[in-house]
Structure formats: C-alpha cells, structure tokens
Amino acid sequence: MEFTEEQIMRYSRHIILPEVGGKGQAKINSAKVFLIGAGGLGCPVGYFLTAAGVGKIAIVDDDNVELSNLQRQIAHNVNTIGMPKVDSVKATFNALNPDVEIVPLKLRLNCDNIMDLIKDYDVVVDGSDNFPTRYMVNDACVLLGKPLVSGAVLRFEGQVTTIIPGVGHCYRCLFEEMPPEGMVPSCQEAGVLGVLPGIIGGLQAMEVLKLIIGKGDLLKESLLLFDGLKMTFRKVKVPKNPDCPVCGKNPTITKLGEYAANYCSMVKSTPPLTTH
Amino acid sequence: MEDIIPDKKLDIRGLHCPYTFVRSKLAIEAMNVGEVLEILLDFAEASNSIPKSMQDHGHKVLDVARINEKEWVILVRKDKD
Ligand SMILES: [Zn+2]
C-alpha cells in the first residue's frame, strides 16, 4: 500500500522499527479488531490500537458512562457521562486518529449474536467484566478459530493470555468451568487500582499488534500474571488440555448454547461480577 | 564506484530526522534484494545515521560521498527482505 504524507509522519516511529517497517504498518492499517468492553481494559486497548492505526475497530458494550468509571476508564470524560460508552470512546479515539474506522455497538453480546458479530474480524480482545461473557467469548473464538487476547484485572493483580485456537491452550484449558458464585467477588469487594487496567490493557494491545505484524513471542501457551503491590510479573506455562470441553480431542461444546446454555441465560441477566 | 548504476533514486533533500530514514527505509522496502538505492540528501547528520541504520537493518552500504558543500549521495544495496 502507498502511504499518504500524513501517514508517513504519523507512523514514522513504527516504520523505522526493523520489526514493523512499512510492510508491518500496512498490515496494521488493514487489520480489523473486535473489542469486547469499553471499560477499564477496552479504553486503553482501543486507545493504543487507534493510535497505532488499526484499520477497523469494533467495540461492544451496552453500558452508559458513569462518574465512578472515570477513575480508570481513560477514554471517557465528564462531558460524556450518561452517554453510551461506545459512543464516548468513538469520539475520543477518532479525536486521536480520524483514519481509524470505529464501529460502536451498543448491545450486550449473547449466544445468538456473537458468532455473527466477530466472524469478519482478525483478532478479538476480551476486556469484559463478567465470567459468563468471558467463557462465551472463549468458546465462540475457539469454534471460529479466531485469535483471542484475554485480559482480566482485580484489585492490584491482573492477567493476560493469548489464545490461538488449534495451536495453544484456550480459556477452558486454564479454568474449565466458571467459578461458583460464592467465589466471585461481590461488587463491594471488587476494587481496582485505576492504573492497573492501563497496564494490562497495554499488554493486550502489545499482543494484538504482534499478532498483526507476525513478530515476537505471543502468550499463546502461557499466562502472564502481574502483581502491582509486589511489582512482579510471572509467566506460567499453560498446557493445552487434551480433554478440554471446547478445544480438546472430543469436545462436548460444538456450538454455543447447548451444554453451555448456563451462560447463554446468564449473559442476558447477570449484572457485572467483577469490576474492570 | 562509478560503475554502480542505481535501480532507484531517492531525493530527500529538505527532510530531517526521522523522515530522512523513514523515506529511505520505505524506498528500500519496495525494492528487490540485490537492487541498489541511491539517496540524495542535505541533512548532515543523516549522512552518518542512514548508513548505520541501513547496516543495522541488514543492508550493504556501498558508498557515502559528499558531492558538494551540503549534499551527500549514499548508495545502498538491499541485502535483506
Ligand atoms: Zn481448551
């Protein structure tokens, strides 16, 4: 592809990297990323991917901006309180880089719409705030063979992993079933230091860009754990589980909504279980 | 070095860092391995930094010549895709 003068200037710090160059930047400019959640993780992930010039970013979230979001959700602001989060981030992202096509989707992902929504995108990024969505997204990505960059944050700790279906583990290889309700922190327990999603979201954006340019080592068979209080990163190996119910040899989940019906009803009714 | 005929010529006079290298890199990326790029520039610092960066990126710098008071010509052969 030919760059415009403005693109050469805007992306010059990418182009001079041996691992990116004009070819890598062209890949970024034509990539399509599907972002789940316009909250703590979705804001920094989308912000950096927009800055990087990703061609098209769809972002799904059905919430409106509240004042309590602003302590960590850096793409919203006092003037967008009350607005749909997806419209708020679209305005912020496009102010940074008008070339990026932002597709705001104010809706709740469910078993009936997710496959169709994500099927035309190259990478899916999970920044959702509840377990039913997290498992549904995993299963949908495995079934479609879509790369998924998953992130989660709570209090001072976060985790990131990259799922390449057919190559490495999936989320269910890691945690086969959703945690029982008593194990999930209640709303009042689910504090998060505001900068934490910035760190984890930044790592997710890094994984997405490496996936797009095809360089470096992905977290495709590992889970990266960050502890902000101890200031440590720990990378643990995650083997693919041959008996995994969705990506194993004899999967019991072959389409959304049969065995997995529990989350199909849950994603429609449950409030967020953790605060992202 | 008179016998080297460049496959492509790039005039980046008037540009400064990092665009001097950005332009050179984009030009060489679009060429085939073995082809020679001639770069004409007037940003003094780039007469040192472009050859160095081209080498770091795996290409062969064939010649750096100051052709007058403030202009240089650099010849680079693309060695790596
Ligand atoms: Zn699995």
Calculate how far, in angstroms, residue A168's C-alpha sits from the geometric centre of ligand 1.
8
Closest CA to B8 of B53, B29, A25: B29
Q: Give me the pLDDT at residue B70, please.
A: 94
- A246, part of any domain: yes
What residue numbers bound the domain in which A75 lies? 31-269
B29 and A21 within 8 Å at the Cβ level: the answer is yes
Q: Is the pLDDT of residue A49 over 50?
A: yes
Examine the pLDDT at A273 and tell me if it is beyond 50: no
What percentage of chain A has pLDDT greater than the value 90?
A: 83
Tokens encoding B22: 């950005």
Q: Is A193 exposed, middle or buried (0-12, 13-18, 19+ CB in 10 A)?
A: middle
How far, in Å, is the centroid of ligand 1 from the Cα of A65? 34
Residues of B acting as catalytic residues: 17
Least Cα separation, residue B71 to chain A (angstroms): 23
ipTM score over 0.90, yes or no? no
C-alpha count within 13 angstroms, C-beta hemisphere, residue B63: 17
Residue A161 reports pLDDT greater than 60: yes
Instruction: Please list, in sequence order, all residues whose beta carbon lies within 8 angstroms of the beta carbon of residue B40, skipping any fewer than 6 positions away.
Output: B9, B10, B11, B12, B13, B71, B72, B73
pLDDT value for A262: 64
Q: For B24, which residue in chain A has the nearest alpha carbon? A: A16
Domain boundaries, given as residue ranges, for chain B: 8-77
Q: What are A194-249's pLDDT values in tens digits?
A: 999 999 999 999 999 999 999 999 999 999 999 999 999 999 999 999 999 999 99
Name residue B65's beta-bridge partners: B73
| Cβ–Cβ contact A9 with B under 8 A | yes
Q: Into how many domains does chain A fold? A: 1
Alpha helix locations (H) across chain A? 5-10, 12-15, 21-29, 42-52, 85-96, 114-118, 131-144, 171-174, 196-213, 261-269
Q: Report the 3 state secondary structure along chain B.
A: CCCCCCCEEEECCCCCCCHHHHHHHHHHHCCCCCCEEEEEECCHHHHHHHHHHHHHCCCEEEEEEEEECCEEEEEEECCCC
What is the per-residue pLDDT across A64-80, written as a single tens digit (0 to 9) for each?
Answer: 999 999 999 999 999 99
Neighbouring C-beta atoms of residue A136, cutoff 10 Å: 25
Contacts of A8 in chain B (CB under 8 A): 19, 22-23, 26
Kindly state the tokens that stand for A52.
């990087």
3-state secondary structure of A256: coil
pLDDT at residue number A189: 74
Residue A216: CATH number of its domain: 3.40.50.720
Q: In 3-state terms, chain A is what percent helix, strand and coil (to 5)?
A: 40, 20, 45
Residue A25 in any domain: the answer is no
Residues of B in contact with A29 (CB under 8 A): none
- Of A34 and A129, the one with more pLDDT: A34
What is the pLDDT, as a whole number, of residue B45?
94
**pLDDT beyond 60 at A261:** no
Q: Report the alpha-carbon distance of residue A157 to residue A172 in Å, rounded.
A: 20
Residues in A closer than 8 angstroms to B22, CB to CB, are 8, 12, 15-16
Spell out a b/e string for A38-51, using b for 16 or more CB atoms within 10 Å of the CB, else e: bbbbbbbbbbbbbb
Give the distance (Å) from ligand 1 centre to CA of residue A78.
41
Homologous superfamily assigned to B8-77 = TusA-like domain (3.30.110.40)
Mean pLDDT, residues A108-118 taken together = 95
Mean pLDDT throughout A113-118? 97
Q: Measure A190 CA to ligand 1 centroid, in angstroms.
A: 27
pLDDT reported for residue A275: 45
Q: What is the pLDDT of residue A259?
A: 47
pTM of the model: 0.92
What average pLDDT does chain A have? 92
Beta carbon pairs, A and B, within 8 Å: 28
| Residue-level pLDDT at A4 | 96
User: Does the pLDDT at position A187 exceed 90?
Assistant: no
Mutate to test the interface with B, among A10, A12, A13 (most CBs of B within 10 A): A12
Mean of the pLDDT values across residues A146-151? 98
pLDDT tier at A178, thresholds 50, 70, 90 = confident
Tokens of A243: 């008996």
Predicted pLDDT at A148: 98
Distances (CA, A) of A5 to A9, B17, B76: 6, 15, 24
Which residue in A9, A13, A21 is closest to B25 by CB distance?
A21
Task: Indicate if the pLDDT at residue A266 is higher than 80.
Answer: no
- The residues, any chain, with a CB within 8 Å of residue A106's CB and separated by 6 or more, are A60, A61, A62, A84, A85, A86, A87
pLDDT of residue A98: 98
Mention every residue, 6+ apart, whose C-beta is less than 8 A from residue B3.
none
- The model's pLDDT over A18-30, given as tens digits with 9 standing for 90+, comes to 999 999 999 999 9
* pLDDT at residue A2 in the model: 86
Residues A117, A60 contacting (CB under 8 angstroms): yes
In this prediction, residue A258 has a pLDDT band, given cuts at 50, 70 and 90, of low
**Are B21 and A3 inside 8 Å of each other by CB?**
no
Specify the pLDDT at position A139.
96
- Residue A13: is its pLDDT beyond 80? yes
